[in-house]
Amino acid sequence: MRPYSLTRATQWIRAAEAAHQQVLVSFYHSEYTPTKMPNIRTYEQDTRKFMKDFPNIHQYQPWDETNRGNVRYSYEKYNSPTAVESAEYYKALRHVCPKCTILGLDILDQNAVGPTIAYINQFKNEIRRLRMPMPTLWGLHNYSDTNRFSSERTRAILAAVPGDVWLTETGGIVKFGGAFPNARGGGLKRAAKALGFMFAIASAHARIKRLYVYQWTGGTSSTIFDSGLTDAKHRPRPGYAIVCAHLHGAHCKVKVSSQ
């Protein structure tokens, strides 16, 4: 991490720990070499150093959205690991912290789920080749299902993995490219509806044990992906009211913003 990024991460983690929150960490590409995957030695060294700096964190994902592929946005250019590399990272993280809670994969469902299932199967085959116990805890970002009001991708991924699943990142998309535009503010209404459907998906599957809503703040002019529960001025959006009502029922009193 660059010093500024490390400072921000440290501040966030310390604040979460002070609030008695369990932190789930997912490792990701280097800001210095975003198109180069770390070798196993570097991965082990860096994850070990992180755990030394933050000894109270015991929940990890070896790589964020490991099956996402190579991405080329205007401000983002980075690569993702192959299924074989993901298995090696999982093994390395198990070696670094054998007592930690470590998810096997952190998977993005994607609109066409076939390649995601193929990636999972390749990962499982590599785990068997490495003679390791098969993971029984998996992470899923089911944005496609949540925002297309479907559960077929989530069900397919559940069928492909053993054990429990955490929805480690999901939410209602206000704006994301041409697939989810925010024309005349309509994305806010769509995102709120999607958040309600998100809870319905999670409730329908007993193997889904946790749900992490992403993200808190949206609405900035430079944002390509916006799923914020609040706008750029931290005013609650309609989606915030959906989450609040789900958590607090009739006790939820909130005035929403149309931004």
Q: Which CATH number fits domain 20-251: 3.20.20.150, 3.20.20.80, 3.40.50.2300, 3.40.50.300?
A: 3.20.20.80
Question: What was the pLDDT predicted at 190?
Answer: 96
Q: What pLDDT shows up at residue 75? A: 55
Q: Is 214 exposed, middle or buried (0-12, 13-18, 19+ CB in 10 A)?
A: middle
Q: What is the pLDDT of residue 76?
A: 63
pLDDT at 80: 87
* pLDDT at residue 34, rounded to an integer: 80
Report which of 144, 231, 152, 147 is spatially closest to residue 191, judged by C-alpha positions: 147
Residues near 78 by Cβ (< 8 Å), separated by ≥ 6? 29, 34, 35, 70, 71
Beta-carbon contacts of 73 under 8 Å, excluding residues fewer than 6 positions away, are 224
Q: What is the pTM (predicted TM-score) of this model?
A: 0.93
List of the chain residues with pLDDT < 70? 1-4, 70-76, 258-259
Q: Which residues of 3-33 are buried (b: 16+ CB within 10 A; e: fewer)?
A: eeeeeeeeeebeeeeeeeeeebbbbebeeee
- SS3 call for 233: coil
Residues 142 and 80: their CA atoms lie apart, in Å, by 18
Q: What confidence score (pLDDT) does residue 252 get?
A: 86
Residue 70: per-residue pLDDT: 67
pLDDT for the residue 223 = 76
Tell me 64's DSSP state.
T
- Are residues 246 and 235 in contact, defined by beta-carbon separation less than 8 angstroms? no
| Listed residue (230, 124, 247) closest to 196, CA to CA | 247
Predicted local confidence at residue 221, as pLDDT: 72
pLDDT at 184: 77
Give yes or no for a contact between 154 and 140, defined as CB atoms under 8 angstroms apart.
Answer: yes
